[in-house]
Amino acid sequence: MEIGKLKTALSSKISTEIFDDGKNKLASVMIVIYGTEPTIIMTEKPDTMNFHAGEISFPGGKFDERDKDILDTALRETKEEIGLEVLRNKVIGQLKPVTTLNSGFKIIPFVSILDSMPQLRANHEVKTILHIPMIPFLQTLADDTDLNHKSIQEMYTFTFKNKIVWGASARMLKQIVDLMSNQNLI
């Protein structure tokens, strides 16, 4: 896949304004894609976490009052969780906000495409850092039929090495599938 076309498909206006709807806690994540054969970074949470234990997600977390904006949250959390410092000028777009159904977070997903990936190191919030070949992964898209994931929203799953990605992360990935499909990239 030509990285230039992928960047075009996933580039968008970035809005870092913080808006509190009073209903949900605010969070953001960084969707990091790298390499000439696009690889996506995701993390597996430890089973001991209070929220989203054992789930596969993107690096990120909740807004902190010390963050200057919601993009700063994603950049800070990515560095803390996996040791990756993404520069603001390497963030090429953002997806539509996604709300978690169990924990009540409104998540703003940002997208960065990097040429290469340095050595990463997981902190205590990350059990495993996953380097997932993007195109084959996105092709595993399926409807989520797990009754434990009941929801009024559209629900999807993706699969990587017998690990199921569902919920908010899967809804973000579905947005990527749609954007890439619009450009005939998958």
Residue 32 lies in a domain: yes
Strands 156-160 and 142-143: antiparallel
Domain extent at residue 88: 3-134
Domains contained in the chain, number: 1
State how far the Cα of 91 lies from the Cα of 14, in Å rounded to an integer: 8
Each residue's pLDDT, cut to its tens digit, for the chain (186 residues) gives 688 899 999 999 998 876 666 677 899 999 999 999 999 999 998 877 666 567 899 999 999 989 999 999 999 999 999 999 999 999 999 999 998 877 788 999 999 999 999 999 999 989 999 999 999 999 999 887 665 555 556 688 999 998 999 889 999 999 999 999 988 888
State how far the Cα of 50 lies from the Cα of 53, in Å rounded to an integer: 6
pTM: 0.90
The CATH number given to whatever domain includes residue 126 is 3.90.79.10
Residue 155 lies in a domain: no
